[in-house]
Amino acid sequence: MRAAIFNGPHSIEVGERPDPVITAPTDAVVRVVLSCVCGSDLWYYRGDSPHDLGPIGHEFIGVVDEVGPEVRGIAKGDFVIAPFVYCDGTCANCLAGVTSQCVQGGGFGNHGIDGGQGEAVRVPLAGSTLVRVPGSGHSDETMRSLLALSDVMCTGHHAAVSAGVKRGSVVAVVGDAAIEAISELTNGIGVDAALECVGTDQSIATCAGIVRAGGMIGAVGVPLYEEFQYKTLFWKNIGIKGGVAPARQYIPELLDDVLAGRINPGLVFDYTTDLDHVADAYAAMDERRAIKSLLTIPQH
């Protein structure tokens, strides 16, 4: 099959990989329909975080091609969303709602696991990982929103949940926010909650600078902090909570919202190309010509 291959920093290309096969009775093979590039993929692309050479990508939706004999609740032909971390659904962490820290789990697109930026993926623990999408003939707009549920929408949701955001809260979503601008907008008080979505010293320091005394930071950006110090939070009684989003826990609720038209997270995709041009998808985000790149996967 064809798939995106990570050959090192600033080197992404399409190459051939073995077709996925069932290797455990709880596996499924999913034929990918849509995938995308994650902001965290850019850390690998830029050489800021380590990544194995080989497959890459952890956000995808597609159609089940094959299931192992012990898979329950998912069948061949089902259209499914794959959360970016697979999970068994039964360990203590999963039962506590933290599926991203499943003791049997792992992520797609690294450490020998197929990447979502390819034609097909072997999904371990498929019955407890994949979420079946009801209905058929979904619009292109809905399909984009379904893809967003594999990671980016759930991660943003996790930031808000972690920060205790509620109706009426004053919230700043931090990518490149400016402390002075937020201070002016809030009459010098600061926001109730800041959602840290980047992971750099600059972004977390911005959050600490714009949150009011006693406020919260919901941190979901992959942390690359080198200089940030806890005392900047201590003296303002600011809390911080977050981490890897338990996407599998959030998807069912958010899926209902997408299908009912209450949310449209697919709007985050502002650059579209196909698998053959995956290098362009990465470059567009790296050069800030795109917020998030969507990949269509040709069906053969």
For residue 14, is pLDDT > 90?
yes
For residues 27 and 99, membership in a common domain is answered with yes
Angle at CA of residue 246, ends 179 and 7, nearest 5°: 80
Boundary-marking domain end, from 210, 225, 242: 242
Mean pLDDT of 77-82: 98
CATH code of the domain containing 80: 3.90.180.10
Ordered strands of the 191-196 beta sheet: 171-174, 191-196, 211-219, 239-242
Same domain, 185 and 136: no
187 and 72 in one domain? no
Mean pLDDT over 161-183 rounds to: 91
> 293 forms bridges with which residues in the sheet?
271
Give me the number of domains the chain comprises: 2
pLDDT for 21 beyond 80: yes
Q: Are residues 238 and 138 in the same domain?
A: no
Determine if the pTM surpasses 0.85.
yes
Going by the DSSP 8-state scheme, the letter that residue 65 receives in this structure is E
Burial class (CB within 10 angstroms; exposed 0-12, middle 13-18, buried 19+) of 142: middle
pLDDT at 298 (0 to 100): 85
Do 135 and 48 sit in the same domain of this protein? Answer: yes
- In the listed set 242, 269, 285, which residue is the last one of a domain according to the structure? 242
Q: Which domain holds residue 90?
A: 2-151+245-296
* 168 and 147 in a common domain: no
Element (H, E) at 154: helix 152-162
Domain shared by 164 and 67, yes or no = no
d(CA 294, CA 299) in angstroms, rounded, equals 16
Q: What is the pLDDT of residue 178?
A: 80
Do 54 and 147 belong to one domain? Answer: yes
Looking at every residue in the chain, the average pLDDT score rounds to: 96
Q: Return the pLDDT at 116.
A: 97
Distance CA 64, CA 80 (A): 7
Residues 194 and 267 reside in one and the same domain: no
Q: Do 131 and 256 fall into the same domain?
A: yes
Span 190-237, pLDDT tens digits: 999 999 999 999 999 999 999 999 999 999 999 998 899 889 899 999
201 and 217 part of one domain:
yes
pLDDT confidence of residue 176 = 66
Q: What are phi and psi of 238, to 5 degrees?
A: -90, 135
Q: In terms of domains, do 21 and 113 share one? A: yes
CATH number for 170: 3.40.50.720
CA 291 to chain centre: 14
Q: Single out the residue in 242, 261, 276 at which a domain terminates.
A: 242
